[in-house]
Structure 1
């Protein structure tokens, strides 16, 4: 049984709590502070599960704060999220539910999540799926996304196939591998290089970074479904459930 130092026994008897509300820290003298610290240490050693409860409460609070930031960010940036001219839309452009994915061509989780997108688009013909290029994994990613942006400008009808081939590839996405994929689709390297020079994607990338920051996104893949953010490659089942929820109750989480 854990014993209470004299100070805490007195406080319990006097006020019913260890530190009455409103008692400032300077109200304790040095000996009392020492006893207080010793008691806390003794209690936590005897009851370490309390730390797990504290950690869980902290995580829930942080998650709630992040969710609030994300929701307000989505509401404030709907045009940039759902109607940017710099993005490519797959699936049904007039679909009743929109899923937005922020991705990087060198993100391993994005590569695995490609199958989730394909399955959703295959089984649900009323989903609008927006691809938002978000190169965050170094110079190779930046270079590959520059090529992708040029392909989008030059041959938007070939971009979906380009995207699937480059993201689904086993090698690292670089400028060269992206150019090779484009060439296989009939988009000439000379045209791509001229487009990259005339219409660089730097402003687009900056805008995406600012948008991601406003939404609290720190990695890829990152989804927006309705007014809810979905962090990470959560899989086909969870994304499909959120799509169904939008139709059922108007929110990604009913």
Structure 2
């Protein structure tokens, strides 16, 4: 599970698009007349799907009887093999994830100075977006720590993403101040161990991490710290998620308190893919 920002995107019409593609495929297989090329960068609608199917049928030179036969074959195939729908959705999702991460570029894995842990030269980078008032983020801390201890070739980049409350933002600003002093992980772990992020727990975590309190307070109020928070929020919108914790591992966007085994599997998958 994840803790979410108020807005949430909903992706619709995948099934309609899948049926249209299958119908067009059936027409191509049985009546292989070249069909006109259509753009695929538009959101499908029921009317659009019907129009596309009509055009494919016309291009293939199908009679009404041929069309009915093809539709019956496609329908029967889908009913007998319903898993092709979920398979198609999974492929589309992977392609969409890849596009979003490519669009975001290398900035994702470029940390605010000091906001990283693990092996700085590791072959796998994990980017973790977190909110200090997120219970699922707190639950993930021991799993992430265990992963770093068990695999010495992981680089962890922390991205502060305060989406739950004003005190979340205050905590995130202080975490950046801790990073500036080279003590981000110590502050990060101490604050999550201290419960809900509020004024008293933030100062207590800062003292546990042995921060220069005055310097931290000054930097937390600086434009530089606020700009980094806004950058992370914009990155969330660009990549297309709205909950914490969110982990980016290779070309995978993983949301929620996943547990050690799932995180380890994601790392292994990213390593295999190179």
Q: Tell me whether the two structures share a fold, i.e. TM-score over 0.5.
A: yes
Match of 1:167 in 2: 192
Match of 1:183 in 2: 207
Q: CA deviation at 1:93?
A: 0.4
Write out per-residue CA displacement over residues 49-85 of structure 1, whole angstroms, 9 at most, x where no aligned residue. Answer: x9xx8xx95x877665554333212112232111133
- Map 1:130-149 to 2 at 5 A: 130-149=157-176
TM-score normalised by the chain length of structure 2: 0.65
Between the aligned partners of 1:242 and 1:152, the Cα distance in structure 2 is: 27
Counterpart of 2:242 in 1: which secondary structure? coil
User: How many aligned positions are there?
Assistant: 198
Match of 1:126 in 2: 153
- Map 1:30-49 to 2 at 5 A: none
Match of 2:179 in 1: 152
Bigger Rg, which one: 1
Q: CA deviation at 1:198?
A: 3.4
Write out per-residue CA displacement over residues 1-51 of structure 1, whole angstroms, 9 at most, x where no aligned residue. Answer: xxxxxxxxxxxxxxxxxx9x75xxxxxxxxxxxxxxxxxxxxxxxxxxx9x
Higher RCO (CA < 8 A, seq sep 6+): 2
CA gap of 1:62–1:85, structure 2 versus 1, over 3 A, is same
Between the aligned partners of 2:244 and 2:88, the Cα distance in structure 1 is: 23
TM-score normalised by the chain length of structure 1: 0.69
Match of 2:110 in 1: 83
CA gap of 1:133–1:161, structure 2 versus 1, over 3 A, is same
Match of 2:45 in 1: none
CA gap of 1:99–1:152, structure 2 versus 1, over 3 A, is same
1:94 maps to which of 121, 126, 135: 121
2:254 aligned with 1:230: yes
CA gap of 1:166–1:68, structure 2 versus 1, over 3 A, is same
Between the aligned partners of 2:219 and 2:153, the Cα distance in structure 1 is: 33
Structure 2 alignment gaps of length 5 or more: 1-49, 55-78
Between the aligned partners of 1:106 and 1:100, the Cα distance in structure 2 is: 19
Write out per-residue CA displacement over residues 131-171 of structure 1, whole angstroms, 9 at most, x where no aligned residue. Answer: 11111111110111111111222x11x221111111232x2
2:86 aligned with 1:72: no
CA gap of 1:219–1:65, structure 2 versus 1, over 3 A, is farther
Counterpart of 1:98 in 2: which secondary structure? strand
CA gap of 1:63–1:138, structure 2 versus 1, over 3 A, is farther
Residues 66 and 216, structure 1, Cα contact 8 Å, conserved in 2? no
2:240 aligned with 1:216: yes
Between the aligned partners of 2:93 and 2:235, the Cα distance in structure 1 is: 15
Q: CA deviation at 1:200?
A: 4.7
Structure 1 alignment gaps of length 5 or more: 1-18, 23-49
Counterpart of 2:253 in 1: which secondary structure? strand
Between the aligned partners of 2:178 and 2:184, the Cα distance in structure 1 is: 6
CA gap of 1:67–1:212, structure 2 versus 1, over 3 A, is farther
CA gap of 1:210–1:68, structure 2 versus 1, over 3 A, is farther
